Amino acid sequence: MMRTVALAGATGLVGREILRGLLADSSVAVIHVLGRRAPGASHPKITAHVADFRSLLSLPPVDEVYLALGTTIKVAGSQEAFRAVDFDANLAVGRAALAAGAKRAGLVSAIGASAGSGTFYSQVKGELENALSVLAFDGLVIVRPSFLAGDRESLGQPVRRGEGIALAVSRLLGPLIPRNYRPVPAAAVAKALLNRVPIARGRSVVSSGEQQP
């Protein structure tokens, strides 16, 4: 059966890899790409939607949705602006996809995500996981990657200081770092979702160690 999917955040590090995987998948017929700006890629499968996530979203019928919108507090400019992207926008797309018939969803979260965390970043990630978990999807896959490895500069994004440090430490210490805390390639994070979401039943969480290639 041919699938129609929605993808939010295709211009990000992991979102770009999800898009590549969906384009290469012969079972995917249509990809509705939602973002704050148009995706760089053009393809017969892609229907682009430049969205104002502060407004009520409406989607055409879809079978599944991938949520990869994300920023940092430094880039967003404030905690409120960060939350508007990482929580509000992702949840709005999730709800719109569910209303459009989506049965399954995949979320790019982060290691340490917990609504009870004392760290604002991890708290927001955890709150989003909880909010999506109560929606009536047949299947929800949550990936919690550690620091991401990938080419942010090619996307016009600033290199995140924490990721740069983690990559440098990983090159020095290699196998001494526990698998769950090693930097994980963005392509591997995308692959974890692409393999699991189409067959997902119930809620599953994929640790960073499980995403390692």
Q: What is the pLDDT of residues 16-56, one digit of tens each?
A: 999 999 999 999 999 999 987 777 778 999 999 988 887 77
Tell me if 211 is assigned to some domain.
no
Tell me if 33 is assigned to some domain.
yes
Q: pLDDT tens across 97-149, in order?
A: 999 999 999 999 999 999 999 999 999 999 999 999 999 999 999 999 998 87
Residue 67 has pLDDT above 80, yes or no: yes
Tell me if 61 is assigned to some domain.
yes
Tell me if 105 is assigned to some domain.
yes
Helix (H, G, I), strand (E, B) or coil at 85: helix
Looking at residue 56, the DSSP 8-state letter turns out to be: P
Domain at 70, CATH number: 3.40.50.720
Element (H, E) at 97: helix 90-99
- Domain span including residue 42: 3-206
Mean pLDDT (the chain) is 88
Lowest mean pLDDT among 17-21, 57-61, 200-204: 57-61
**What is the pTM assigned to this prediction?**
0.87
Tell me if 213 is assigned to some domain.
no
End-to-end CA distance of the chain: 29
Tally the domains of the chain. 1
Residue 120, pLDDT score: 96
Q: Residue 37 in contact with residue 63, Cβ under 8 Å?
A: no
Tell me if 212 is assigned to some domain.
no
Q: What is the distance between the alpha carbons of residues 12 and 15, in angstroms, rounded to a whole number?
A: 5
Residue 126, pLDDT score: 98
Percentage, residues of the chain above pLDDT 90: 67
Residue 171, pLDDT score: 61
Percentage, residues of the chain above pLDDT 70: 87
